């Protein structure tokens, strides 16, 4: 029942439901990873079952692929799709320029590959994800396991010359073992507090040996759909320079909530 959702979950749900309207039959759509993206997949699954929407989804993680299949979405690989009409994904932070930090769910590499292979990227988020400056959320950096401590030391040394407030870096853990990504890599979380120049930091990070990719998404996002706990949804289009707001109502017997 939607009445049992917290305000944050309501915000995520209305953002996802609004973003699902961008998907049209015949499209090839990148499906993000994370709690907000999971709402999107459920919303799209309902449109497939109830309204006959037909599209092909390219998931950004094994978790998303499993959920998409469960709700009736046709899943294909990016190699099969080759290019996508649209990717819809969540974000851990976004700023006024629609630069993002992503990777809190551990899928930043596939998420960035899929997003950049799309004509358009739409981000869905609750209002709390908007920040004046990126960096309060730890920045994930995916590194290969071989020599990861060397990569960590090189990153920490590099951060001395960067416009950041914090320089602590930690290996992400899963219990008492290192977290392993879908590509069998590790993730280093950089606790930077504030990133003064995200574009520069992203470029320098990816020059460090052992670094596969980082969670800064620069000049990739085209629209952000921001949900609020009262059902309001704001859509900002950075290319058109427009901001629109709508109000979505909650349906108490919505099928989406039966498994919650």
- Give me the active site residues, please: 111
Q: Is 90 annotated as a binding residue?
A: yes
234 strand-pairing partners: 226, 245
Q: Is 102 annotated as a binding residue?
A: yes
100 strand-pairing partners: 94, 217
Q: How far is CA 209 from its chain centroid?
A: 25
Which phi and psi angles does 120 have, rounded to 5°?
A: -150, 140
Alpha-carbon separation of residue 88 from 6, 26, 200 (angstroms): 23, 16, 25
Q: Are strands 223-227 and 121-126 parallel, antiparallel or unpaired?
A: parallel
223 strand-pairing partners: 122, 237
Q: Is 34 annotated as a binding residue?
A: yes
Q: Is 12 annotated as a binding residue?
A: no
State which H helix or E strand residue 81 sits in: helix 78-81
Q: Is 91 annotated as a binding residue?
A: yes
In the structure encoding, which two tokens stand for residue 107, read together?
A: 């899928």
- Return the closest-CA partner of residue 7 out of 250, 224, 253, 259: 250
Q: Is 175 annotated as a binding residue?
A: no
225 and 125 Cβ atoms separated by less than 8 Å: yes
Q: Is 215 annotated as a binding residue?
A: no
Q: Is 61 annotated as a binding residue?
A: no
Instruction: List residues forming the annotated binding site.
Output: 33-36, 89-92, 102-105, 129
Cite the annotated binding site for substrate by residue number: 33-36, 89-92, 102-105, 129
């Amino acid at each position: 029942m939607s009445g049992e959702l917290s305000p944050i979950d309501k915000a995520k749900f209305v953002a996802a439901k609004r973003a699902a309207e961008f998907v049209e039959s015949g499209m090839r759509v990148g499906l993000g990873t994370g709690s907000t993206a999971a709402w999107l997949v459920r919303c799209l699954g309902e449109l497939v079952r109830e309204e006959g929407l037909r599209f092909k989804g390219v998931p950004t993680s094994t978790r998303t692929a499993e959920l998409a299949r469960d709700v009736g979405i046709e899943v294909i690989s990016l190699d099969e799709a080759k290019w996508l009409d649209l990717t819809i994904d969540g974000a851990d932070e976004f700023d006024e320029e629609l630069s993002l930090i992503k990777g809190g769910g551990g899928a930043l590499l596939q998420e960035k590959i899929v997003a950049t292979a799309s004509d358009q990227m739409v981000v869905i988020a609750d209002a709390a994800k908007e920040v004046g400056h990126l960096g309060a959320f730890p920045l994930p950096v995916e590194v290969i396991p071989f020599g990861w401590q060397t990569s960590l030391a090189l990153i920490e040394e590099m951060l001395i010359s960067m416009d950041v407030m914090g320089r602590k870096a930690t290996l992400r853990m899963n219990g008492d073992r290192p977290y392993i990504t879908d590509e069998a890599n590790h993730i280093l979380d950089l606790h930077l507090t504030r990133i003064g120049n995200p574009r520069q930091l992203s470029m320098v990070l990816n020059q460090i040996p052992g670094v596969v990719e980082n969670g800064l998404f620069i000049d990739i996002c085209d629209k952000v759909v921001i949900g609020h706990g009262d059902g309001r949804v704001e859509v900002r289009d950075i290319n058109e320079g427009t901001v629109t707001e709508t109000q979505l109502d909650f349906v108490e017997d919505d099928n989406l909530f039966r498994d919650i």
